[in-house]
Amino acid sequence: MVVVTDHDSKVLARKTFRCRAWDLGAALYWARDHAVRAGFAGVSVACGPTGHRWRVLGQLAADRGMSFVCAQPAMTAWPRRAEALNSDKTNDKDAVLIARLATQLRCYAPEPVDETWGRLRHLGARREHLIVGMVAQIQQIRALLECVWPTALETARQPFRSRSWVVTMRVICERDHGDLARTQRLGQARLESVVRSGVVREGGQRPCLRIVRKLFTALQEYN
């Protein structure tokens, strides 16, 4: 949905374009022609930055010498609720709301598309993917431990953020393959030595022996 408005958000023209993002050049020319007929020198293009197609629209606007701004989706949602007292979202309503935000200068000029921006966007998406996967794995491990060995979770205030706790659990699960009796036979002193080596390999200086000893005690209580 494309609307052309004046500075008071009065709709001068409205039209729906069913096409790919790269074909929206015709929509920009259509909007400029209506603005010129209404007595304006040209148009400023505004849109909501959702998905990735708004970048294509920004490039099309730049190629035609048109200024391009974005309105935050949250800024669009608040006026929508204030006007209609509901969260009903339609392209007709949002197009007018975005135009109004632009005329009120409640918008921003996005950073230009270049190699640096593309790389940062890629890294940001990758980081979000890794965080989601990490949280899911932590929740799965926590759920399993709560079922079979809940005492282990009580040995540290934030066990999954404790390097000493994680390294000790790695010794138990990887070195001893989850055989708690084998780790218990290892002895507390030997366990502390193995954990200390693991912490140093991961960049730490020394383990928190209090957590290691609590885990070793939890091994004895489990048996």
121 occurs within a structural domain = no
**Residues 84 and 16 grouped into a single domain:** yes
pLDDT tens per residue, range 121-154: 889 999 999 999 999 999 999 999 999 899 999 9
Residue 73 domain boundaries: 2-111
Calpha distance 196→204 (Å, rounded): 9
119 occurs within a structural domain = no
How many residues are recorded in the chain?
223
Does the pTM of the predicted model rise above 0.85? no
Is the pLDDT higher at 219 or at 88? Answer: 219
125 occurs within a structural domain = no
The phi, psi pair for 58, rounded to 5°, reads: -65, -40
**Residues 141 and 104 grouped into a single domain:** no
Calpha distance 142→132 (Å, rounded): 15
**Residues 11 and 65 grouped into a single domain:** yes
**Residues 86 and 9 grouped into a single domain:** yes
pLDDT tens per residue, range 75-102: 776 666 666 545 566 777 888 889 999 9
**Residues 99 and 188 grouped into a single domain:** no
**Residues 26 and 87 grouped into a single domain:** yes
Asked whether 70 and 107 are in contact (CB, 8 A), the reply is yes
117 occurs within a structural domain = no
How many domains, in total, are found in the chain?
Answer: 2
pLDDT tens per residue, range 1-51: 999 999 988 999 999 999 999 999 999 999 999 999 999 999 999 998 888
**Residues 34 and 103 grouped into a single domain:** yes
Asked whether 13 and 3 are in contact (CB, 8 A), the reply is yes
**Residues 82 and 183 grouped into a single domain:** no
